[in-house]
Every structure is written in structure tokens, then in C-alpha cells.
Amino acid sequence: MKLVLKYMKPFAVMIFIAILLLFVQNLTELALPNYMSEIVNTGIMRNGIEDDVPEVMSADALRLVTSFMTQDDRNIFESGYTQYKPGSGETLLEKYPGLEGISAFTRTQDEKESAVLAAVYGKAVYALSEYMKAQFGAQGGTVPDDISENDGPKPADMDISKMDVTALYVLLENIDQQAAANAIEEAGAQRALFQTEVGVTFTRLFYKELGANLSKIQLNSILSIGFIMLLISLVSVVAAIIIGFLSSKVSMGIGRKLRHDIFKKVGSFSPTEFDKFSTASLITRSTNDVQQVQMFSMMSIRMMCSAPIMGIGGVIMAVNKSLSMSWIIAVAVVLLLILQIIMFSMVVPKFKMMQKLIDKLNLVARENLSGMMVIRAFGNEEKEAGRFEEANRKIRNTHRFVQRTMAVMQPTLNFLMGCTTLLIVWIGGHQVAISKLQIGDMLAFLQYATQIIMTFLMISMMFIMIPRALVSAGRIKEVLDTDPQIKDKEKVKTLNGKSKGKVVFKNVSFKYHDAEDCVLTDISFTAVPGQTTAFIGSTGSGKSTLINLIPRFYDVTEGVIEIDGIDIRDLTQAELRANLGYVPQKGVLFSGDIGSNLSFGKEDATPEEYLRAIQVAQAEDFVFNQKEGLDSEIAQGGDNVSGGQKQRLSIARALIRDPSIYIFDDSFSALDFKTDAALRKALRTYTSDATVFIVAQRVSTIMNADQIIVLDAGRIVGKGTHSELLISCKEYREIAESQLSKEELA
């Protein structure tokens, strides 16, 4: 996790902006169910009437309502209204055309009194409705025709919304005080929601009396709330788009930086570090593992920040809508947690195996691709296919187990969500029926419950990603934290440009990491400019290892290697290698063309330098005989050229650099004798001022060397010219006699 946080640090500003926008997005999403509830409760159920207490009432309506109030309530209610004066409010007259020519009262806009007035008004109109039921329907009678807009019998729970309120003023002129008192007492014992519902119904009647367009009021209410919801949704969408852009930019940036740092670190590795990490594993770590961390970075910004906001906010909103149904969410959350714990305990160990299995698959695939010709030559295609299938099968089985386990979670969550929805509708519907809960609030509660469950789904997805990302981050960190054995000192010396080329080995010994015995022991010799030093010996005698000590592919275990009197460990690797022309035992070419491969030696080489290097390397015949010349394509690994051509191009690449020290590690083995002889002759002239090291198996290649060093079991057993060694070194003579005729030995 520290690795991920470290690489997130440069993107702190973007992440901060994304988190702020996540707050905006989540708050808007949490607000939408409230507005949806408002549309249902106010826009549909209350016909757009937002306030329970009428904004304006006729004098008759005020008298009617206050008739069913106690004296204290009447005083409170009447203090909230003032006499309407014609011409004082043109807006009111437009909204309520019936105000013209009648005595009316308008409500004062005191927000502090609003709740008190609503309670008093609701209780009064509820008492009025109960009184009317008792008077006109208690015995199963009918409502008088002059009360209803529609003729016909009415049940005891009459439809108040269809009454003609003006007729009530006459019929209730002589109120039965005892019945009214009973109704007032009964109204005081009812729930506030009952009173509110009846209050809204009477408010509609009073507005209708004043000529208000109720349909327009309802439409305006729905449209205004809908417009607000549209704006909120637009803000949410814009925030989501920006969050997506920022999170993608951050994750891609982290991935790019990780790949860059891994590549840079691997570029500094010595062969010792490559022995620790296989090539296949390093490829997996720089691709698949980086991708896992990259995906985690993107999703963590969006989900890890979003889940707490949505979860906590959803719970608060749901409890605010209905405390009595909150236990449903609690049960659903507990079941979700149990399900997730079970799933994760099964899945997480498999994720830890996944990356190692991918390493193994890449290793087998790489070996098969690179060794395809050998596999075919020995007829082992089926065996290798079996190896690949075994590695592939293990990944398939592991991945299939994970996917099957996770596949169970989705339908289980859907089932749990369906059960939660059913329970909310069932219990919520009962509460709506007894006027304990409004329909809109039940629907909002349902949406909040869904959001909470989806939050836990997001959390479950994060818990799936986190273990795999942590495993990948650990594997990446392992590479980045690996300290290369070959590194520059803090205080270095310099050759001040191009070295003179004098190389001295002083009592050099070397052994590989974790090896018990030395590969090279007590090696001492001096090589000077204008001189060719050759190394020969039996297989495994340490020739290539000795040569690889000069460019510091390995560091000596004991002793010192000096160039121009400076220990090569005191030089920077860049300066040391800038003075070397290295041709490896196995020629390596890169995909591109001949020119791009030669430019590895010197990027700003002139055409004349290219031509000269190619001529000396005896590559002119196949380079310039091709139609494209230097632009001739080189396939990956140089597979479209022969071994000899590959070696000659590798030699030309070193020559074009024009260094002071040349290292040829058995670089002539693929050449025929004629080409070998011509190349060595041209080299003597081209490298006359340089120090040349040659490792060879063929005596004919090194016969003319100024100094031949014979190695056996990592020790120098002979040193001198060809003729000197034939006399003084039996190991050299044995090698020479096995390769040369008696005439050549003479």
C-alpha cells in the first residue's frame, strides 16, 4: 500500500479535486430520492400544495375552520392572518381571481409560526371532517345534494375533495356544540399525518372557492421539482465525467511511472539480479502487476471515497425517512457482511496464487518460443505442449474458481436486494395504509436501501481488488527495492574523456553469488594500447567470465582491475562502458533495420563511418547487395539473418563506436575461415591504436595475438605469444595440436 501511496503523491491535486467532486456527486445522488419523494407527496398526493395552511382564505372559510377550534387555538390561528385589502396584492388576485369583491384574509409570512399554525389548522379541519361524517353519514344516510358536486349517496367516510365548500357555510350555521366538542376532542388524539392529509384536502377546497387553477398549481409544482432534479442530475453527470477523467489520468500516470521505474531498475541489474528474477517474471511484473495496481488506483479513487459517503449518507437519509423500518436495512447489511466474509475467505488465497501462475505460464511460453527450432528438431512438440497445457490448466482452474465464487455473489445480492425491497414495500405499504408513512417517503426509503446495498457491493468489489493489487504491488516493490550489486560510488573518478586503453588485472579473483568456489583465481596481466590480448582454454575455464569483469557486468571478489591506473569501480558505469566496444559471444540484434542496429554504437555516426565499420566487419557484401541497404529490415532477435551475418553486424556496431578498448567474446565462431582471416587482417589496421581483447576457441583466430593467456579451471597456466606457448605451456600445445596440422605448428 505504501508503494501505491508513494506513486499517488505526485497526483495529489488531481486526487483532491476528484474527491471533492465525489462528495458533490454523492450528495446529489443522495438528494434525488428526497426530491422524488417530494414529487409524489406534494406534486401528486397533495396536488402541488406545499403548505398545509392556506395562503389565503375567505372570511367564511376562516369562520368555518375556527368554529372547530378551542379558544386558545382560535387566537393563535387568527393571529396568523390579516385582512386582505383589494389592490394590495396583484399577484394574489391573479392566482386567486375569486378574491375580487369578497372579504378575505391572507396569511402573514412568519416562518416561526408556520408549524404552530399547521398543527392548529390540521386539528381543526380534522374535527370538521369528523363532525360532518357524524352529522351526514353516521346512520348510513346520504350527503345532501347541495353539499356534493355530484348527486348520489355517499358513505360515512365521504369524499371531502368533491364537496361544494360554500354549501357548508349554510349547513353548518347552526353547529351542534356538543358534537363539535366531541369532534375536536377526537381530532386531538389523531396522528399529525392524518390531520395533515385532511388539512390539504380542505385547503384545496378553499383555493377552489377562490377560483385557483388547481391543475396549474399541481403541474407547476411537479415541473419545478422536476427541473431541480434535472439540474442535480446534470451536476452529478458532469462531476462523474470529470471524476472519470481525473481517475483515469491518475491511474495511467501511476502505471506509466511504475513501468518507467521498473524498466530503469531492471536496466541497472547485473546478471546476479537477473538470476534472482526470471525474465518471464520481470515481464509479468512490468505488465500484469502494473495493470493490477493501475486498476486499483483508478477504482480506489472512485469507490473507496464514494462508498463511505453513500453508505453513511444513505443510512442517515433512510432513518430520517422512517426510523421504524431501519431494522430492515440493518438486517440486510448484516447478511451482506456475512456473505462477503465467506466469499473473501475463499477467494483471497487464490488471488495470491494467480500472479505466480502467470509467471510460470509466461516462462513456459517464452522457453517454447525461443527454443522452437530445438523442440522441433528433437520432436518434443507434444511434451512442450503438455507443459504449457499444465501451466495453462492451473491458471484456468484458479481463475475459474474465483469467477464461479464471485458469480454466486451477484445473484445472491440480487436476491437479498429483492427480499429487502419486498419487505420494505410490505411493511411500508401497511404504514401508508394507516397514515403512519407517506407513499413518497416509502419510495425514497426504498431507494436509500438500494443505495446502501449497492455501497456494500462496491465495498465487496474493492475487497476483491485490494488483495490482488497488494500482491502485485508487493511484487513490483520487490523489484524496485532490489539493490543492484553493481552501482556507482558517490565519489567517482574520471578518465577525462577517452581513455588511453591501458588495462591492468591485479590479483583478480571472482566467484558467483552464493557460490562456494572461485571461478577465477589470482588473475594478473597487463594489456596496453596497440596490443591484442587473447584468451583461450577449455570449456568452463572462465574466459567469458574474465572478459565480463572489464565492463563491470560483475564486480571482482578480490583484487583490482584498472584502466589508465584507475580502479574501474571508481568510474561511473556510463563512462567506463563509453570507452568499450563490446561484442558478446551470442550476437544480439534488435528489431528495426541495419542502420538502427549500428547506431547503437554511435548515434551521430557519419555515412563514411558506417561504411568503414561495415567494410572492416566484412559485412559489405550482404548489407549493400540488398535493395534497401542500411534500411534493410532486421526481425526481432535478428532471426532473418544468419549467425555469421549477425556476428559481423555486432562487430560493425562495436567498431563504429571507435572506443579505446575492444572486447570480442568468441565473436568469430560463426565465421568461415576465409572471412575470419580477412576480418582479423582488417581489424589489425582499424584497431592499431586500441587495446583489443579476444576470447576464442580456435587457435587460428589468435595465433597472431601479441599476448595469449591460457586459462584452466579459472587460473592462468600460460602467458606469451603463440610460439612461446607452444614450448612453455602444455595445455596450449594440446589445444593447438588438436586444431592445427604439423606444418602449421612448425
Model confidence band, residue 185 (pLDDT cutoffs 50, 70, 90): confident
**SS3 state at 104:** strand
Write the CB contacts of 10 (distance below 8 Å, at least 6 apart in sequence). 253, 257
- Which run of H or E residues covers position 178? helix 177-188
Q: What residues contact 743, with CB distance under 8 A and at least 6 apart?
A: none
Q: Which residues contact 333 (CB under 8 A, 6 or more apart)?
A: 452, 456
| 573 in the same domain as 475 | no
Identify the domain boundary among 212, 247, 265: 212
208-231 mean pLDDT = 90
| Residues constituting the chain | 746
Q: What is the mean pLDDT of residues 462-482?
A: 81
Of residues 202, 189, 116, the one with CA closest to residue 159 = 202
Side-chain half-sphere of 712: how many Cα atoms within 13 Å?
A: 10
Q: In this structure, is residue 425 part of a structural domain?
A: yes
How would you classify the pairing of strands 56-58 and 104-107?
antiparallel
Q: For position 157, what pLDDT does the model report?
A: 45
What cell was used for 688? 592499431
Same domain as 387, residue 291: yes
Choosing from 176, 191, 212, the residue where a domain stops is: 212
Are 536 and 462 within one domain? no
Lowest mean pLDDT across 62-66, 149-153, 330-334: 149-153
The β-bridge relationship of strands 532-537 and 56-58 is unpaired
Between CA 685 and CA 68 the distance in angstroms is: 124
Between CA 635 and CA 645 the distance in angstroms is: 13
Q: What is the pLDDT of residue 161?
A: 64
Return the percent helix, strand and coil in the chain, to nearest 5: 65, 10, 25
Q: Do residues 327 and 207 share a domain?
A: no
DSSP 391: H
237 and 199 in one domain?
no
Q: What is the pLDDT of residue 44?
A: 85
Among 696, 664, 675, 665, smallest CA distance to 617 is for 675
Task: Say if residue 596 is in the same domain as residue 713.
Answer: yes
* Three-state DSSP class for residue 722: helix
Residue 627 has pLDDT above 90, yes or no: no
Statement: residue 151 has pLDDT above 90: no
Whether 201 and 282 map to the same domain: the answer is no
**Residue 489 resides in a domain:** no
Note whether 462 and 539 are same-domain residues.
no
Cβ neighbourhood burial of 224 (10 Å; 0-12, 13-18, 19+): middle
Q: Are residue 118 and residue 163 in the same domain, yes or no?
A: yes
Domain finish residue from 449, 480, 511: 480
All three cell numbers of 361: 505460464
Together in a domain, 159 and 251: no
This prediction has a pTM of: 0.72
Is 172 among the domain residues? Answer: yes
CB of 450 closer than 8 Å to CB of 377: no
Residue 44 counted as domain residue: no
Does pLDDT of 703 surpass 60? Answer: yes
For residues 25 and 236, the answer to whether their CB atoms sit within 8 Å is yes
The per-residue pLDDT for 136 is: 67
* Residue 282: predicted pLDDT: 84
Domain count, the chain: 3
139-148, 388-397, 459-468: which has the minimum mean pLDDT?
A: 139-148
Give residue 149's pLDDT.
Answer: 43
- Provide the CA 537 distance to its chain's centre, in angstroms: 55
Which pLDDT value is given to residue 112?
Answer: 66
Compute the half-sphere exposure of residue 370: CA atoms within 13 Å on the CB side of its CA: 9
Most confident of 184-188, 612-616, 621-625, 629-633: 612-616
Q: What are phi and psi of 76, to 5 degrees?
A: -65, -45
pLDDT value at position 87? 66
> 232 in a domain, yes or no?
yes
Q: Is residue 264 part of a domain?
A: yes
Flag whether pLDDT at 153 surpasses 50: no
- Choose from 1-5, 196-200, 656-660 the range with maximum mean pLDDT: 656-660
* pLDDT tens figures, 405-451: 777 777 887 888 888 889 888 988 888 877 778 888 888 888 888 88
For residues 420 and 519, membership in a common domain is answered with: no
pLDDT at 470 over 70: yes
The band of 242, judged by pLDDT with boundaries at 50, 70 and 90, is very high
Give the gyration radius of the chain's Cα atoms.
46
The answer to whether residue 365 sits within a structural domain is yes
Beta carbons within 8 Å of 283's beta carbon, 6+ residues apart: 362, 366
Cell numbers at 411, concatenated: 445473484
DSSP strand pairing (566-567 vs 104-107): unpaired
Find the domain containing 32 and state its range.
2-36+223-480
Strands 558-563 and 566-567: antiparallel
Q: What gap in Å lies between CA 545 and CA 555, rounded to an integer?
A: 11
* In a domain? residue 89: yes
CA distance 264 to 426: 63
Mean pLDDT of 135-140: 52
Measured CA to CA, the distance from residue 245 to residue 242 in angstroms comes to 5
Q: Note the pLDDT of residue 394.
A: 87
Let me know whether 31 and 62 are in one domain. Answer: no
Share of the chain above pLDDT 70, in %: 94
pLDDT the model gives residue 1: 67
C-alpha cell, 453: 446495498
Give the model's pLDDT for residue 152: 35
A 10 A CB-CB count for 733 gives 16
CATH code of the domain covering residue 530: 3.40.50.300
Residue 359, judged by CB atoms within 10 A of its CB (0-12, 13-18, 19+), counts as buried
Element (H, E) at 120: helix 111-136
Sheet holding 691-695, edge to edge: 580-583, 661-665, 691-695, 532-537, 707-712, 715-720
> What's the CA gap between 318 and 321, in Å, rounded?
5
Is it the case that residue 167 has pLDDT exceeding 80? no
